[in-house]
Structure 1
Amino acid sequence: MSTHPQIDQQITFLSTYNLNVSTEFYEQKLGLELWLDQVTCRIYTVSGSGYLGLCQASEKSTPPIGKYSSVIFTLVTQQVDEWFEYLKERGVEFEKPPTLNQKYNIYHCFFRDPDGYLIEIQRFETNDNKKDITK
């Protein structure tokens, strides 16, 4: 049993060159719901108590690193193929279509947001019956 204080929510923040373009991508393409608008940062509900924050990079701040980053924003779902089709219909270009990765025993696909951040849609597999191992 852990003795650390409780954590109520989790937010991953990504900086963006153009908050308006990123807002359109995450709202219109991914369909994320705005949870809190802080003008230069917008926070979206991903699931439960998990959130994604997009913050406008200022001229004085370190610029967003996007495709040069080792950051991967992963969305876990049983419906990888459905998400792939849904996003393709909205003009999202994929770097990798849904594929079984035997090394990690996952089924996943990859695409990038307008700032070049890598987004993965993933399902955990089991060897015997391909059920969700996160339950």
Structure 2
Amino acid sequence: MAAPFDQHVTFLYAEDPEASWRFYEEVLGLPLAQDQGSCRIYAVAPGGRAFVGVCRARGPRAADNPRLEGGAVVTFVHQDVEGWHARLRAKGIEVASAPAYSAAYRVTSFFFRDPAGYTLEIQRFERPDWPAPGG
């Protein structure tokens, strides 16, 4: 069965969007798909199917804990988790810990924050039942 939607966009809101825009463009290297003025949308994966939008917030964040209702963790899937960890540290990004394997979820990942305080994760699935990119 095909996925029920054609594309996906996750929108994040920042009180200082310029700092976040620099982070997503210069640190993560995401290509700009569309600049809407107060919101920029970046391509996350090839094929024009997954995007992250970073927009000017209309008010302060309600809570810092991403695992509370209304919170979010944005996960980027890549086979070279360790390489991404080294790349981010080399750019001066604070990363709480080294990549680690989770037996409960069968993934290897690490977490960090963007300039607006969102929790980001870079993850590799260590399970054969996860769909391969492009398939």
> What is the TM-score normalised by the length of structure 2?
0.84
* Structure 1 equivalent of residue 87 of structure 2: 86
The Cα offsets for residues 6-41 of structure 1, whole Å up to 9 and x where unpaired, read as 522110001101111001111111011110000000
The Cα offsets for residues 35-68 of structure 1, whole Å up to 9 and x where unpaired, read as 000000000000031000011013xxx4234733
Classify 1:87/1:11 alpha carbon distance in 2 versus 1 (closer, same or farther; 3 Å): same
Rounded to whole Å, the distance in 2 between the matches of 1:122 and 1:15 is: 23
* Structure 2 equivalent of residue 51 of structure 1: 51
What percent identity do the matched residue pairs reach? 40
Larger radius of gyration: 1
Classify 1:82/1:89 alpha carbon distance in 2 versus 1 (closer, same or farther; 3 Å): same
How many residues are treated as equivalent by the alignment?
A: 126
Any unmatched runs of 5+ in structure 1? Answer: none
Instruction: Return the structure number with greater strand share.
Output: 1
Determine whether 1:19 maps to 2:20. no
Rounded to whole Å, the distance in 1 between the matches of 2:112 and 2:28 is: 12
Rounded to whole Å, the distance in 1 between the matches of 2:94 and 2:8 is: 28
- Could you say what secondary structure the match of 2:98 adopts? strand
Whether the 8 Å CA contact 1:35–1:45 is kept in 2: the answer is yes
